[in-house]
Structure formats: C-alpha cells, structure tokens
Amino acid sequence: MPELPEVETIRRDLEPFLNGRTLVRIDHQDPRRYRDLARALGASILGIGRRGKYLMLDLGAIEMIVHLGMTGQVGVGDPALFRHLRVSCLLDSGEVFFLNDPRRFGKVLVVDKGDYSSLPTLSAMGPEPLGPDYRFEPFYQICRQVRTIKSHLLDQRLVAGVGNIYADEALHLARIHPSQGYLTKPEAQRLFEAVPKVLWSGVVNRGTTFKDYRDGMGRYGGNQDFLRVYDREGEPCQECGTLIVKTRVAQRGTYYCPRCQSLKKR
DNA sequence: AATCATCCCTGAACGC
DNA sequence: TGCGTTCAGGGATGAT
C-alpha cells in the first residue's frame, strides 16, 4: 500500500528515466478508468513531482496524474513481465513506462495543469508534512475537535500522504490511542512532530514492503524491519514490553500498544 | 459539517 | 485436494 514514502521513492527512481522523454504511444484497455490519456501523446515530460500519494508528470500545459491505489506498481522496463499490465507508455528512448495493478484501485489521468476538479481528495489535499508549509496551528485546530484522530490522519486534509501504516506508526511514536478524540495541545504537538519523523524513516529506508509494494526498479523496500507497531500483533512494544494489540478503527486494521497509547475519556 | 457504510477489485489465507 | 469464504484497504460516493 504505497503511501508518501513509497511514492516519493518511486518518484526518485523514475526521474532519470522520464525526465526529458517524449510519450510516443500510450496503450490501455479501460477508458473509463484511465481517462484522457491520448491527450498526452507527443508531449514531453518536463519533470516528475509528488503531492501526497499522487505522482504528477509535468507535460507543460497538461499533466499526467498517477495514483497507485493499493497494489499499483509503476516502472520503466519490460511490461511483458507483468500479469496485470493496465497502462503502458512508449517513450522516445525506446523504453516503456507502465502501470501494473492487479486490483485496479489505481488511477491514471491527464488533466489541464492544476485542474484537479475530478479528484476531490487531491483538490482538498492538506500540507506536505515534509515540506515548508507544514504548520502546527491549523493541525492543532483540527486535532482538538475531531472524535477519532486516526480517521483524520487517513483523510488527507489534515496532512498529505499518510496511510494506514504510517498513521499507526505516528500514533505510537506520539503515544496517542488511534481512537482518541479532542487532542490536547501537547498531544497534538507530539503527533505533529511524529508524522514527519515516521515518514522520513520510510523515505530513508526506501518504503515499506508489507506485501505488494515495489519501488520504481521493482525492488523491495526496507522499512518493514523498522516498524514500531504495524503488523506486529502479539509482539512486545519496544518502549514498554506490553504486547501489541490489533483492533479495527475507521474500518482499518489498527495496531497499537495498549499501555503507551491509553484512551483518555473527554 | 462530520461521520459512517458501501463499493471497487484480486490474491492470499483460511476452514471444512 | 479442492472448493467456498474472508480479509486486505485508498478513495469516491451516498446515507445518516
């Protein structure tokens, strides 16, 4: 499940293969899912950026937006190696930029540059937690009045790019129960600082491969060996030794330490 | 306005 | 062995 660190790792991997290339041919079978891709024919890739979990290929007046969903994998190489090839783009280098996506939760579309009206989550995206516009006050104003903090970490409006794995990791580092609501200022401060810490760790370790994730070169990430709670049910908390518990919060599998992350009634 | 439930989709894990 | 069931969840959407 690619989140901010995984998408950033892919972005860095693909940059040297895509920068300056022209899209010579684009193939896919599902025009309802992969929209307006023909608009990109003949366009050159001026840069590859990222916003939250979205990859953005700068094509000048337009941009190609890629979201990997749960099982999407992009790369430059031989698409014949993949069973679930959904989109392939022939480059003027002769190489193929492709999306392989078994479960088809991923998206690829071409839009006028900056027009995200067909992507409500991207339109309302919160600040980049690893960027210069990440501010405590607006973060705190939301945290203090919501009922279940984890659902807002996943929501993308509070902060961009956090998914299920890094939400649990940040909450453990901040010692906050995933179902906690109405955070105090010190709690919000701890969470505000924990989010970029766990995301940087993910970037440094080239992403978390729990099952499906591969980087832009098809390699496994390394961050799974450094997770504090995610997928560690029954293992001892590294802070206090209490066994990590798995529950369900916001319709998501949720791991936490019942001692370090106690729920406060408010 | 916030919160919750449902849908999309496939493969792996599980139970009998 | 094999078949059917359950689970995983990001984001869009509709309901409460």
pLDDT in tens, A43-86: 999 999 999 999 999 999 999 999 998 889 999 988 888 888 99
The confidence score (pLDDT) of residue A200 equals 93
CA of A53 to C1' of B15 (A): 37
Pairing of strands A23-28, A245-249: unpaired
User: Which segments of chain A are extended strands (E)?
Assistant: 23-28, 34-35, 47-51, 54-58, 62-67, 73-76, 85-91, 96-100, 107-112, 245-249, 252-256
* A214 touches A220 (CB < 8 A): yes
A239 is a catalytic site residue = no
The confidence score (pLDDT) of residue A248 equals 87
State the pTM of this model.
0.94
* A47 touches A11 (CB < 8 A): no
Catalytic residue chosen out of the listed positions A39, A104, A197, A252: A252
Give percent of chain A above pLDDT 90.
70
Residue A32 to residue A126: CA distance in whole angstroms: 28
Residue A220 has pLDDT above 90, yes or no: no
Assign A188 a pLDDT band (cuts: 50, 70, 90). very high
* A178 touches A149 (CB < 8 A): yes
Assign A139 a pLDDT band (cuts: 50, 70, 90). very high
A40 CB contacts (<8 Å, ≥6 apart)? A23, A26, A59, A62, A64, A89, A110
A53 is a catalytic site residue = yes
pLDDT average, residue stretch A93-106:
92
Cβ-based burial of A33 (10 A; exposed 0-12, middle 13-18, buried ≥19)? middle
Closest CA to A22 of A108, A112, A90, A98: A90
Is the C-beta atom of A250 closer than 7 angstroms to strand B? yes
Q: Which residue is nearest to nucleotide C10 (CA to C1')?
A: A69
Of all nucleotides, the one whose C1′ comes closest to residue A250's CA is: B4
Q: Is A18 helix (H, G, I), strand (E, B) or coil?
A: helix
Residue A15 has pLDDT above 90, yes or no: yes
How many Cα atoms are found within 13 Å in the side-chain-facing hemisphere of A233?
A: 8
